[in-house]
Amino acid sequence: MRKRILAYGRLNTHQLDALKRDFDVIDLARCADSSDPTFRAALAQAHGLIGSSVAITPELLDNAPHLEVIASISVGYDNYPVEELTRRGILLCNTPDVLTETTADTGFTLIMATARRVVELANYVKRGDWDTSIGPAQFGSDVHGKTLGMIGFGRIGAAVARRGALGFDMNVRYACASPKPALEKELGAEHRQLDDLLAESDFVCVTVPLTKETHHLIGGREFAKMKSSAIFINIARGKVVDEGALIAALEKGEIHAAGLDVFAQEPLDPTSPLPHMDNVVALPHIGSATHETRTAMAQRAVDNITLALKGKSPISPVNPDAR
Ligand code: 8YV
């Protein structure tokens, strides 16, 4: 019997055709909503899932008796109950590596855009307010030579730091569970306890995954420790930050600005004050969103699900113990 795949992510024709050669594919690319009856009916039949941006709950798994593999088109896997999947013998795969550089580009875009007030000043030109040569009211802050504090120093964190250290002569500090001697050597990075990093950094950039331990890792206490000139960047997950405390810190001038690609709730509620603040650059979670990288991520997920459903080892399993 051919195994069945429920595809609810963006796969191109070539990728869908490749899956269809080996499997029966139910393509719900336009219906990534787990409460939709079509999704639930397809889930009940599926041996494999491929997609992203849908929270897979234990309740959904109860309705997926044949499920063997989930190939997420994402590196982050906070949308999945990993222990529960392992307990049920369901393999979860993700897409590390292929998105590292693109996501780091997004991080550095936010560093530059906030420091040099790119969005705010582009809007100033667009409004026709540029009627005389600019002065201190439009000046920004330097990026080169400043101190970049990385919270999380995995693949993406290291790639942001590499841009800062090698491209902008920045001093890199990092806070993470264990020191990384190779990156210290390569980038001159120095390990710090979180509170020391917050106090020392001109730019604080968060790249940790969202877990029980990192939920609201940065809140009022942490913002109070930052310099009033500090710029806060989040390209990780919105819930790593207490968003109310971030808004308060920006309003009180406890920190200078923020560059945000991720939010506690996505899409961001348009009534949130964040995108309306001049000193905030808010993006719609574009971290990995380039044509090239999204194609590569989808391809990795196709390779993972194909290998796994054929009983082989996938390229990037999250819970290899599931088998
Ligand atoms: C995307 C991401 O938002 O990979 C991740 O973990 O956050 C982003 O690349 C996600 O893949 C949704 O498609």
Q: Tens of pLDDT along 116-160? A: 999 999 999 999 999 999 999 999 999 999 999 999 999 999 999
**What pLDDT sits at residue 140?**
98
Which pLDDT tens digit goes with each residue over 190-234? 999 999 999 999 999 999 999 999 999 999 999 999 999 999 999
Instruction: Give the pLDDT score at 70.
Output: 98
What is the share, in percent, of the chain residues with pLDDT greater than 90? 97
Rounded to an integer, the average pLDDT of 236-265 is: 98
Closest CA to 26 of 42, 14, 15, 12: 42
Q: Taking residues 11-39, what's their average pLDDT? A: 92
Q: How far is the CA of 181 from the centre of ligand 1 (A)?
A: 29
Q: Does domain 100-282 have CATH number 3.40.50.720?
A: yes
| Residue located nearest, by CA, to atom 11 of ligand 1 | 74
User: Does the beta carbon of 287 sit less than 6 angstroms from any atom of ligand 1?
Assistant: yes
The rounded Å distance from CA 96 to ligand 1 centre is: 10
pLDDT, position 30: 67
Distance of CA 263 to the CA centre of its chain: 10
CATH superfamily ID and name for 4-97+291-322: NAD(P)-binding Rossmann-like Domain (3.40.50.720)
Domain with CATH 3.40.50.720 in the chain: 4-97+291-322, 100-282
Calculate mean pLDDT across residues 50-72.
Answer: 97
Q: How far is the centre of ligand 1, averaged over its atoms, from the C-alpha of 287 (Å)?
A: 7
pLDDT digits (tens, 9 = 90+) for 234-249: 999 999 999 999 999 9
CA 30 to chain CA mean position, Å: 22
pLDDT band at 105 (very low <50, low <70, confident <90, very high): very high
Q: Which tokens hold the place of 181?
A: 């001697």
Given a cut of 90, is residue 31 above it in pLDDT?
no
Whether residue 32 is predicted with pLDDT greater than 80 in this model: the reply is: no
Q: Is 192 in the pocket of ligand 1 (CB under 6 A)?
A: no
Tokens, residue 305: 């699900």
Q: What is the 3-state secondary structure (H, E, C) of 236-261?
A: CCHHHECHHHHHHHHHHCCCCEEEEC
Q: Which residues are catalytic?
A: 237, 266, 285
Atom of ligand 1 nearest to the CA of 288: 9
Confidence of residue 33 (pLDDT cuts 50, 70, 90): confident
Residue 72 Cβ contacting ligand 1 at under 6 Å: no
- Whether the CB-CB separation of 64 and 39 falls below 8 Å is answered with no
Kindly report whether the global pTM for this prediction surpasses the value 0.95. Answer: yes
